[in-house]
Amino acid sequence: MAFVPHTAEDVARLLAAVGADSLDGLFSHLPGDVVSAAAAVPGPMDEDGLLRHFRTVSGRNAVHEAGMCFAGAGAYDHFIPAAVDALSGRSEFLTAYTPYQPELSQGWLQAIYEYQSMIVSLTGMDVANSSMYDGATALYEAVLMTLRVTRNRHRVLVSGTVNPLYRTVLRSYAANLALEITDVPMKDGTDDADRLRAAVDDGTSAVVVGYPAFTGSLADVSHLAEAAHDKGALLVASVYPTALAVAKSPGEMGADIVVGDGQPFGMPLSWGGPYLGFLAARDKYVRRMPGRIVGATVDTRGRRGFVLTLQTREQHIRREKAMSNICSNQAHTALRAAVYLTLLGPSGLRKVAAACMGNARELKERVLALEGVTPLYRNGLPWFNEFAVRLPAAAERVVQSLSGKGVLAGVPLARLAAGADEGALLLAATEKNRRDDIARFAEMLSKTLRELR
Amino acid sequence: MKLSFEKSRAGRSGLDRLDTAPGDEVLAELGDLLRTGELFLPQMSELETVRHYTALSRRNMGVDTDFYPLGSCTMKYNPKVNEVIAAMPGFTGLHPLAPAAAAGGWLKVYSDLERYLADITGMDAFTLHPMAGAHGELTGMMIVKAFCGGTGESRTKVLVPDSAHGTNPASAALCGFEVVNVPSAEDGMIHPHTLAEYVGSDTAALMLTNPNTLGIFEQHIRRVADMVHEAGGLLYYDGANLNAIAGRVKPGDMGFDVVHLNLHKTFATPHGGGGPGSGPVGVKGRLAEFLPVPRVEEKDGALTLSEDFPRSIGRLSGFYGNALVALKACAYILNLGPEGLAEMSALAVLNARYLLGLLTSGGWTLPYGAPCMHEFVLSGEDLPEGVHTMDVAKRLIDAGYHPPTVYFPLIVREAIMIEPTETESPEKLEEFAGVMNRILGEARDDPDVLKTAPSTTPVSRLDEALAARELNLACKRNGRT
């Protein structure tokens, strides 16, 4: 029990050494008015019993069959190479603490430095921190960062292309701050550039866009960056990182801060977590960045080594004046992302991205060929691997019905955004959705639509 | 050691085959948005990648390799069975936006763990969404803010003891509260007569860790709770130190209204080099309506997710927090059961008190003398002239130990904060104490071995000032490194 090594003899010997008569006696100095009844949790269970219990519980999750997940909206069913689990699972990584003692943490620190370097290149930024909790909280931290950079500005324009769940999260946190959020809804599935440009003013700290839009379209945001910069505001892009393997990086289009969720880089879906928030920015804003940052330096003998740097921004030094309250972050999922990206390299990641695009096109063609299914948007823009359609039935009912058959048919838009069309369904494909999976899905969807009619 | 980027050879990849990848023609659709900038990632074979990360892992210490007496961090053993459970495809495979009817297993894990944690802490309702301790604090402070907002009073101040974790004031500040530091008394505790000077009608909450960061149980906690409540404020429990009392004393019974826990401390989920953690928040019944959404709810005999809580502080993470971390903690609690939890905390205290005895009898200074709980804080102030706590820490590395937490809490000069946890054996504690006491002798007789330590690690002491002055934060093709 309790994974303790103590024998009865050990306990007796230690108790004698500390002058206590029993284990309970160790607590005898506690005031009498705070003693509680024992916890009433179930257990204990032995290891075999525990495994059986959780196998049964996990069986109550109706997980999609291989290749039959067509849902995205911020979490994608990408393939995870075996080496990612094998390497990140090494217990020198898994059971380590934050690398505050650099001499014995060079493995972790170098891995994070390499991770930061990869995020920097993908996003087209200059610096990246060592991780945030997830894509939604990374966006919130980015918005706070723009308030620090621009000073005395309190307004943020958020394009409807940003994932609605992230927008909701931003709104929750903003409630406690001097921060006004103006939502600028999408126009035909992309940024409403005219309205965004018109809305930027001297009180605006940031324009926030989704890239790609959460409904899949990719749009050049350079003109929005220019409009923001003209008024002294920053452009923040919330991205799907796999897309950046093939699509122009926000950095190339003038963005100042890029955030997103690194889940596609080796994190299983796992009902939403742990995922990986990443945050990258221009050099000049590095001292306004939240979170831990690893930097290279030298040791007393001139050898290269790595340390946590710029710590005076952080809560353990600055307390209430810190850039953020973040302490524990998502180091281990950042490591998974680093292993994933190292393993794939530029050519592998491009292959994955191209496969996502190819399969998504196959999927879109098949789905749109079904009777009564129409595209929700017709903006003619390039797109990555996600798209929205209007079904001739309630999307929620379709998804529920197919979920019982081993298929996750997408995400009904009405679940993400109040007031969305009941028939609207957001679909995504990854490299895992093979041609025959898509064909089988199209048949099942067709049958379900007929049944629900 | 070379960076992966420096081992890279153009044209290599660990992904040599992807059957669903089409030709490059699909990329043409991107038109002007096609990426033209270089994608600067390492190019390595699978074996090279494996060797690279294996080599990195060997330049690192973990609980599985060495004793980690890191105060305030509860670096206990992380049971392997929990990793096996968290890798079950029935858990890892589910998309967060799958219909609730498809998430019966996850909803049960959440519902069960919320109940277990509520029972262990004496709270009425829990959320598992916060993804780390500090995120839990922020959640808790948002709940405090929402509660105060509804009272029609102007409560702008959050009181924080000077011994508190840095995240406490930082989290309170993020909610727009004014942070007021409350000094601890000479015995390291918060005393009612001191608190009386600070608590008032503008107090939103007092944030306390109990036992506090000195490892001392706050003896006046009931009186402190009454004072805060009489003033109309709330009492907030930072659960960083729950390992000292879990299964024995419930924060709710001490008078706390809001708690956050660190599952990666007390409940044995691995720290993973700094996360992912999990910082669930529990509240007394009158605050339950403010918990973040979506919440797990029972409806018509089945568990489901509900957003129908109009006074909720809202959604605080993309989905439902670090689900796999919650799962591991749930397994740990079931593995231990109620007796195991009580045994866990008792042996954590026993180990700490035993180790403290070995160290003070070896000549180490304990500035606050109250009986310690699961951890204690020594001071390096009495070290010989010119030798500092940091030197002791570095010398410990040479002996194969992770150093304790140093220079925290801030109220102890040259602080050395030690938390052995219950999972270490008496022999290990004796061995460690022997080394610590030997180092004390070295500090007198041969301070140079401390000043130049560590000498057994891949790098010696690093120039942190240089790192902050000449920033090199990423390897770039056209840049430095």
Interface contact A382, partner B, CB < 8 A: yes
Average pLDDT score, chain A: 96
Q: Is B130 helix (H, G, I), strand (E, B) or coil?
A: coil
Integer Cα distance of A352 and A354 in angstroms: 5
Decide if pLDDT at A110 tops 50: yes
Residue B326 belongs to a domain: yes
Q: Any idea how long chain B is?
A: 481
Integer Cα distance of B346 and B334 in angstroms: 18
Spatial CA neighbour of A244 closest among B23, B21, B33, B24: B33
- Shortest distance between the Cα of A155 and any Cα of chain B, in A, equals 17
This prediction's pTM? 0.98
Same domain membership, residue B52 and residue B101: no
Integer Cα distance of B370 and B365 in angstroms: 13
Q: Any idea how long chain A is?
A: 453
Same domain membership, residue B189 and residue B276: yes
CB B258 within 8 A of CB B236: yes
The pLDDT tens digits for A150-201 are 999 999 999 999 999 999 999 999 988 889 999 999 999 999 999 999 999 9
Integer Cα distance of B166 and B152 in angstroms: 30
CA gyration radius, chain A: 25
Same domain membership, residue B354 and residue B307: no
Same domain membership, residue B366 and residue B316: no
Spatial CA neighbour of B420 closest among B441, B394, B400, B402: B402
List of residues 6+ apart from A391 with CB closer than 8 A: A372, A373, A398, A423, A424, A425, A449
Give the number of other Cβ atoms within 10 Å of residue A198's Cβ.
Answer: 11
- Return the pLDDT at B481: 40
CB B241 within 8 A of CB B212: yes
pLDDT tens track of chain B, all 481 residues? 999 999 999 999 999 889 888 878 899 999 999 999 889 999 999 999 999 999 999 999 999 999 999 999 999 999 999 999 999 999 999 999 999 999 999 999 999 999 999 999 999 999 999 999 999 999 999 999 999 986 666 899 999 999 898 899 999 998 989 999 999 999 999 999 999 999 999 999 999 999 999 999 999 999 999 999 999 999 999 999 999 999 999 999 999 999 999 999 999 999 999 999 999 999 999 999 999 999 999 999 999 999 999 999 999 999 999 999 999 999 999 999 999 999 999 999 999 999 999 999 999 999 998 899 999 999 999 999 999 999 999 999 999 999 999 999 999 999 999 999 999 999 999 999 999 999 999 999 999 999 999 999 999 999 999 999 999 999 987 544 4
Integer Cα distance of B124 and B252 in angstroms: 9
Residue B218 belongs to a domain: yes
Last-in-domain residue among B335, B356, B376? B335
Same domain membership, residue B395 and residue B257: no
The pLDDT tens digits for A382-410 are 999 999 999 999 999 999 999 999 999 99
Same domain membership, residue B187 and residue B327: yes
DSSP A366-412: HHHTSTT-EES------B-SEEEEE-SS-HHHHHHHHHTTT-B--EE
Integer Cα distance of B229 and B264 in angstroms: 30
The alpha carbon of B368 is separated from its chain's Cα centroid by a whole number of angstroms, namely 24
In the sheet with B178-182, reading across from the earlier edge strand, the strands are: B125-127, B281-283, B258-261, B234-239, B203-209, B157-161, B178-182
- Return the pLDDT at B152: 62
For residue B271, what is the domain's CATH number?
A: 3.40.640.10
Last-in-domain residue among B335, B353, B384? B335
CB A54 within 8 A of CB B85: yes
Residues 142-171 (B) with a CB less than 8 A from some CB of A = 142, 145, 165-167, 169-171
**CA dihedral sign of residues B318, B321, B323, B325:** positive
The percentage of residues in chain A with a pLDDT greater than 90, rounded to a whole number, is: 92
Interface contact A395, partner B, CB < 8 A: no
Same domain membership, residue B283 and residue B296: yes
- Return the pLDDT at B39: 95
**CA dihedral sign of residues A391, A396, A397, A403:** positive
**CB-side exposure of A190: number of CA atoms within 13 Å?**
15
Same domain membership, residue B442 and residue B350: yes
Residues 284-313 (B) with a CB less than 8 A from some CB of A = 292, 313
Give the number of other Cβ atoms within 10 Å of residue B145's Cβ.
Answer: 22
Interface contact B455, partner A, CB < 8 A: no
CA gyration radius, chain B: 25
The full set of domains in chain A, from first to last, is 82-339 (3.40.640.10), 346-452 (3.90.1150.10)
Interface contact A97, partner B, CB < 8 A: yes
Same domain membership, residue B330 and residue B342: no
- Shortest distance between the Cα of B197 and any Cα of chain A, in A, equals 21
Whether a cis peptide bond, with omega within 30° of 0, leads into A382 is no
Integer Cα distance of A283 and A305 in angstroms: 21
Residue B472 belongs to a domain: no
Residue B393 belongs to a domain: yes
Q: Which of B95, B245, B416 to mutate to test the interface with A (most CBs of A within 10 A)?
A: B95
Instruction: Specify the number of domains making up chain B.
Output: 3
- Shortest distance between the Cα of B351 and any Cα of chain A, in A, equals 8
The pLDDT tens digits for A301-340 are 999 999 999 988 888 878 888 888 888 899 999 999 999 9
- Return the pLDDT at B478: 53
- Return the pLDDT at B479: 44
Residue B477 belongs to a domain: no
- Return the pLDDT at A324: 85
For residues B12-39, b (16+ Cβ closer than 10 Å) or e, as one string?
A: bbbbeeeebbbeeebbeebeebebeeeb
Same domain membership, residue B272 and residue B415: no
Which residues in chain A have their CB less than 8 angstroms from residue B138's CB?
Answer: 325
- Return the pLDDT at A33: 83
Residue B297 belongs to a domain: yes
Residue B45 belongs to a domain: yes
Integer Cα distance of B157 and B10 in angstroms: 58
CB A23 within 8 A of CB B346: yes
Residues 219-238 (A) with a CB less than 8 A from some CB of B = 219-220
Across A6-33, average pLDDT: 96
The percentage of residues in chain A with a pLDDT greater than 70, rounded to a whole number, is: 100
Interface contact A438, partner B, CB < 8 A: no
Integer Cα distance of B136 and B193 in angstroms: 30
CB A244 within 8 A of CB A120: no
* Domain that includes residue B19, residue range: 4-57
For residue B385, what is the domain's CATH number?
A: 3.90.1150.10
Last-in-domain residue among B319, B335, B351? B335
CB B218 within 8 A of CB B212: yes
As given in the structure block, the two tokens for residue A393 are: 């039935």
Residue B332: φ, ψ to 5°? -60, -45
Cβ-nearest to B459 among A31, A106, A268: A106
CB contact under 8 A, A83 and B50: yes
List of residues 6+ apart from B67 with CB closer than 8 A: B400, B401, B402, B420, B424, B428, B432
Q: Is B437 helix (H, G, I), strand (E, B) or coil?
A: helix
Across A411-432, average pLDDT: 94
- Return the pLDDT at A35: 79
Q: Which of A10, A23, A34 to mutate to test the interface with B (most CBs of B within 10 A)?
A: A34
Same domain membership, residue B143 and residue B224: yes
- Return the pLDDT at A394: 97
As given in the structure block, the two tokens for residue A291 are: 């979170």
Same domain membership, residue B114 and residue B43: no
- Return the pLDDT at A1: 66
Integer Cα distance of A27 and A63 in angstroms: 47
CB B353 within 8 A of CB B199: no
The pLDDT tens digits for A86-100 are 999 999 999 999 999
Residues 5-44 (B) with a CB less than 8 A from some CB of A = 5, 8, 11-15, 18-24, 26-27, 29-44
Residue B187 belongs to a domain: yes
Range in A30-34, A263-267, B158-162, B247-251 with the lowest mean pLDDT: A30-34
- Return the pLDDT at A417: 85
Cβ-nearest to A431 among B20, B36, B270: B20
Residue B215: φ, ψ to 5°? 80, 15
Amino acid at A100: Y
Cβ-nearest to B145 among A176, A219, A341: A176
A309-B137-A75 Cα angle (round to 5): 75
